[in-house]
Homo-oligomer: A and B are copies of this chain.
């Protein structure tokens, strides 16, 4: 049997770490939804960097840079963290450096796993199919909000865990996975209303950035799975 676990915060990652597992990193509002969108729109390669200093250094070398903190695009950057920023006209065929508040840190952390995938509702069925075909343990890492638990990533973790656990070669004894699936079960038929209570929704709204919330909860717009090799993210066409 293969095991499904969910880690609610990058600060808990070392307690869940599993070098044999496929690690799916998720940051639904908005980094992982933006990354999947970038590959839908033909980006060639994304380089996730943890610090703004690194992002700036790349910018000086001539790279196109997407960088935000707390939802706000940084002055030196070409654009920020909205999936809508990663349009075909802008990203097709390009290499882009990307730095966000929570998501890019989580991606680097996850690289101790066997393989690091970027997950969002936009590619959830493709992800589940790929994971089941690999027949490996699955660890879902929620980017959270500054190390705190967040609901939107946890709901996605529940949704993905539920899809994978439909296959009887997978099981779980992880309380976080069970809790996430129960929360997703509560929310799924009324996602728009449920997401009203999410703290990040209010942060985005305050900055006029909440236009993407519906889009970030759409299922299966693509089969593409972004994969991180420890240095950059490219696409698996599943």
Question: Which A residues form the contact surface with B (CB < 8 A)?
Answer: 8-9, 11-12, 15-16, 145-151, 154, 173-176, 178-179, 182-183, 186, 197-200, 202
Q: Which residues of B contact A179 (CB under 8 A)?
A: 149, 151, 154, 179, 183
Q: Which residues of B contact A151 (CB under 8 A)?
A: 175, 178-179
Q: Which residues of B contact A197 (CB under 8 A)?
A: 178
Judging by beta carbons under 8 Å apart, are A202 and B183 in contact? no
Q: Which residues of B contact A183 (CB under 8 A)?
A: 179, 182-183
Alpha-carbon distance between A146 and B175 when the two chains are bound, in angstroms: 12
Judging by beta carbons under 8 Å apart, are B199 and A15 in contact? no
In the complex, how many angstroms separate the beta carbon of A186 from the nearest chain B beta carbon?
A: 6
Alpha-carbon distance between A199 and B174 when the two chains are bound, in angstroms: 7
Can you name 29 A-B pairs with beta carbons within 8 Å? A8-B149, A9-B9, A9-B12, A11-B11, A11-B12, A11-B15, A12-B147, A12-B149, A15-B146, A15-B147, A15-B148, A148-B174, A148-B175, A148-B176, A149-B179, A150-B175, A151-B178, A154-B175, A154-B179, A173-B199, A174-B199, A175-B198, A175-B199, A175-B200, A179-B183, A182-B183, A182-B186, A183-B183, A186-B186
Alpha-carbon distance between A150 and B197 when the two chains are bound, in angstroms: 23
Q: Which residues of B contact A145 (CB under 8 A)?
A: 175
Judging by beta carbons under 8 Å apart, are B176 and A202 in contact? no
Q: A15-B11, A154-B179, A186-B186 are in contact. Are A173 and B202 (CB under 8 A)?
A: yes
Q: Which residues of B contact A154 (CB under 8 A)?
A: 175, 179
In the complex, how many angstroms separate the beta carbon of A5 from the nearest chain B beta carbon?
A: 9
Alpha-carbon distance between A184 and B124 when the two chains are bound, in angstroms: 28
Which residue of B is nearest A173, CB measured?
Answer: B199
Q: Which residues of B contact A16 (CB under 8 A)?
A: 148
Contacting residue for A148 out of B12, B182, B186, CB 8 A: B12
Q: Which residues of B contact A147 (CB under 8 A)?
A: 12, 15
In the complex, how many angstroms separate the beta carbon of A64 from the nearest chain B beta carbon?
A: 33
Which of A9, A146, A148, A151 is packed against the most chain B CB atoms within 10 Å? A148
Alpha-carbon distance between A199 and B154 when the two chains are bound, in angstroms: 19
In the complex, how many angstroms separate the beta carbon of A139 from the nearest chain B beta carbon?
A: 12
Nearest 9 pairs between A and B by C-beta?
Answer: A149-B176, A15-B147, A151-B175, A150-B175, A175-B199, A173-B199, A178-B197, A11-B12, A15-B148
